[in-house]
Amino acid sequence: MRRLPTRAFLPLLPMLAALAGPGGAQEPDPIPAGVAPPPGVYAPGVDVVHYDVEIGLGYGVLWFEGITEIEVAVTESGSILPLDFTGLAVDDVAIDGSSVDFEHTTGVLRIPLVDYAAGDTARVRVHYEGVPDDGLIIRENVHGEPSAFVDNWPNRTRFWLPSVDHPADKATVRYTVHAPVEWKVIANGHRSGDPAPTPSDAIGPQGDRRTWTWEVGVPISPYNMVIGAADLEVRTVGLAACGNAPASRREDGCVEVSYWVYPQDVDRAQSSFRRAADMVDHFTELVGPFPYEKLANVQSATRFGGMENASAIFYSERAIASGRNIEGTVSHEIAHQWFGDAVTEADWHHLWLSEGFATYFGAQYFEAADGVESFRARMEEARQRVVTSDDVSRPVVDPEEQDLFALLNDNNYPKGGWVLHMLRGQLGDEVFFEGIRRYYARHLHSAVLTEDFQAVMEEVSGEDLAWFFRQWIHEPGFPTFDVDWTWTPSPGSEEGTVEVTLRQSQPDAWPVFRVTADIEIRAGGRVARERIELDRRDVTITLGYVGPEPDEIVFDPDGWILKGDG
Ligand SMILES: [Zn+2]
């Protein structure tokens, strides 16, 4: 996602009435969002394979009703299914059609799978209702009109959908949404039928409604599972990834790239999304096949600048309503479809595998589209964020952080992006991008740790990269180089040699960094380059250069190294 500098929440305006649901069951107090789960296997003995989600919404009504059927593969006999679920009333739980007893405390709905052995499949149906405390945001939009949008990151799915709410437990999803006739409904995946009049006995607030069905046929993480419902206008940007989108349901094998925005903002949104299909084509060619059925870009209630929900990206409604061009955010969120969505961090502490990658590839699109100077300007902006940040006194992977929202920091975003840039500089374009493609192909639709990425890059390069990942990911900081040089003429000659002294002057609490960098010697209009290796705090090197006195010596002239302003 894209962080916003300040979180601006719209107030709930009086026209939205919090009517009680028909069941009148007690809604338990919600648990806090964003607490890191304990280390280890999250929900042992069970693996969710599929969610069949039915949601009933009303126009300007704050409560909703849901029925979710969860298909669970049992991997250990006699397991308990611990569904994350909080703040809503549970009317009934049934397993394979029979109502069962359940326990619902402190945000977990515990359902014993007593008679199920390893290898069995259980179908667990949960019927629930209430006014969601979070996750499903039902409120007036920026134009004062009713809307309902899901916003899950990192673990707020549990506020509207009973789920194993952990990024590593991916599943396919089918959504059936009964929504007011005034609204269109968007969700992950492809639409599996035309909207039809809602039967009068359907769940949720009564009214003139239509029923929408969407299905995502490849597994996605719970934090990516979304629906959005509002008065939206749809515009097609174009087709992309043609012949390179295995999940496509279209005969031409392409994915449709579109944007869904409030009627008031159709013209304002155009400049932000005009290159969205080109972005999809770029990443498809650079990284690998587009992973989902379509790509919708949606104006929404997300609290973030953008949220990368698989195939249904949600953007800040205010950013779009302001008419600002948010192409940088669009490129970032589209890059997430590959990194974060299709290949997902198995542990939130490895968030750089999502945010660092989206920061880097989101910027890299502009290298291809607008030229290297546009890309370098974006990387320089990211560098300045790192070198002026307090966050970097902690390592990028920081398992001690228990507040998941605190992981949205300058380590996981700009420093994570720079780690990829430095790896590219270290290995060269050919090896680096080959490694990126192999990492994506190998871990598509699954969840990984930093070690898995390192292993692929070592395999492709044939190099031991433990030092690289240790110093940049598992240790804090960045180097700052003080560069000095002297030119010594040979006796009786106009030519001479250059001795360069480099001193790493970063704080002692940070490591001494090993880097490979270019040095450029500029002398009388001529330019020469040499590559040097540094791995000590103080290094003095005699260059191979023999020539006239240089006008200037430039360390790392193309900016491949993350470093402080020396
Ligand atoms: Zn992001």
- Tally Cβ neighbours within 10 Å of residue 299: 31
- How much distance in Å is there from the Cα of 315 to the middle of ligand 1? 11
Distance CA 129, CA 57 (A): 11
- In angstroms, what CA-CA distances link 504 with 25, 49, 278, 382, 402? 64, 51, 42, 21, 32
- How much distance in Å is there from the Cα of 2 to the middle of ligand 1? 5
- Tally Cβ neighbours within 10 Å of residue 224: 29
**Two tokens at 2?**
């894209």
What b/e sequence results for 65-78 when a residue is b if at least 16 CB atoms lie within 10 Å of its CB, and e otherwise? bbbbbbbbbbeeee
Closest among 176, 84, 66, 202 to 128, alpha carbons compared: 66
- How much distance in Å is there from the Cα of 378 to the middle of ligand 1? 15
Distance CA 218, CA 337 (A): 13
- How much distance in Å is there from the Cα of 544 to the middle of ligand 1? 44
Q: Are 433 and 338 in contact (CB under 8 A)?
A: no
- How much distance in Å is there from the Cα of 312 to the middle of ligand 1? 14
Closest among 138, 17, 13 to 66, alpha carbons compared: 138
- How much distance in Å is there from the Cα of 129 to the middle of ligand 1? 31
- How much distance in Å is there from the Cα of 253 to the middle of ligand 1? 27
- Tally Cβ neighbours within 10 Å of residue 524: 9
The string of pLDDT tens digits covering residues 258-293 is: 999 999 999 999 999 999 999 999 999 999 999 999
| Residue 56: per-residue pLDDT | 98
Query: For the whole model, what pTM was predicted?
Result: 0.96
Q: Which residues of the chain have pLDDT under 70?
A: 4-24
The string of pLDDT tens digits covering residues 541-560 is: 999 999 999 999 999 999 99
- How much distance in Å is there from the Cα of 351 to the middle of ligand 1? 10
- In angstroms, what CA-CA distances link 490 with 157, 498, 526, 528, 546? 72, 11, 19, 19, 9
- How much distance in Å is there from the Cα of 1 to the middle of ligand 1? 3
For 320, the enclosing helix (H) or strand (E) is helix 317-321
| Residue 40: per-residue pLDDT | 87
- How much distance in Å is there from the Cα of 59 to the middle of ligand 1? 31
- How much distance in Å is there from the Cα of 417 to the middle of ligand 1? 11
- How much distance in Å is there from the Cα of 114 to the middle of ligand 1? 41
Local structure of residue 20 (DSSP, 8 states): P
Which residue(s) pair with 127 in the sheet?
Answer: 67, 92
Q: Are 418 and 385 in contact (CB under 8 A)?
A: no
- How much distance in Å is there from the Cα of 355 to the middle of ligand 1? 5
- How much distance in Å is there from the Cα of 252 to the middle of ligand 1? 30
Closest among 126, 208, 224, 89 to 170, alpha carbons compared: 224
Distance CA 170, CA 400 (A): 25
- How much distance in Å is there from the Cα of 333 to the middle of ligand 1? 6
- How much distance in Å is there from the Cα of 180 to the middle of ligand 1? 32
- How much distance in Å is there from the Cα of 95 to the middle of ligand 1? 37
Distance CA 252, CA 221 (A): 28
| Residue 26: per-residue pLDDT | 84
- How much distance in Å is there from the Cα of 144 to the middle of ligand 1? 28
In 3-state terms, what secondary structure has residue 524? coil
Longest dimension (CA), the chain: 101
- How much distance in Å is there from the Cα of 551 to the middle of ligand 1? 43
- How much distance in Å is there from the Cα of 365 to the middle of ligand 1? 15
For 80, the enclosing helix (H) or strand (E) is strand 80-84
- How much distance in Å is there from the Cα of 185 to the middle of ligand 1? 24
- How much distance in Å is there from the Cα of 447 to the middle of ligand 1? 17
- How much distance in Å is there from the Cα of 366 to the middle of ligand 1? 17
| Residue 5: per-residue pLDDT | 55
- How much distance in Å is there from the Cα of 12 to the middle of ligand 1? 27
Q: Are 517 and 566 in contact (CB under 8 A)?
A: no
| Residue 409: per-residue pLDDT | 98
Nearest-5° Cα angle at 241, 235 to 247: 90
First vs last Cα of the chain: how many Å apart? 32
- Residue ranges of alpha helices (H) inside 184-300 are 266-273, 276-286
- How much distance in Å is there from the Cα of 336 to the middle of ligand 1? 7
**Which are the contacts of 225, defined by CB distance < 8 A and separation ≥ 6?**
51, 53, 150, 152, 157, 161, 163, 173, 188, 309
- How much distance in Å is there from the Cα of 200 to the middle of ligand 1? 41
| Residue 21: per-residue pLDDT | 55
DSSP E strands in 331-477: the ranges are 343-345, 446-448
- How much distance in Å is there from the Cα of 305 to the middle of ligand 1? 9
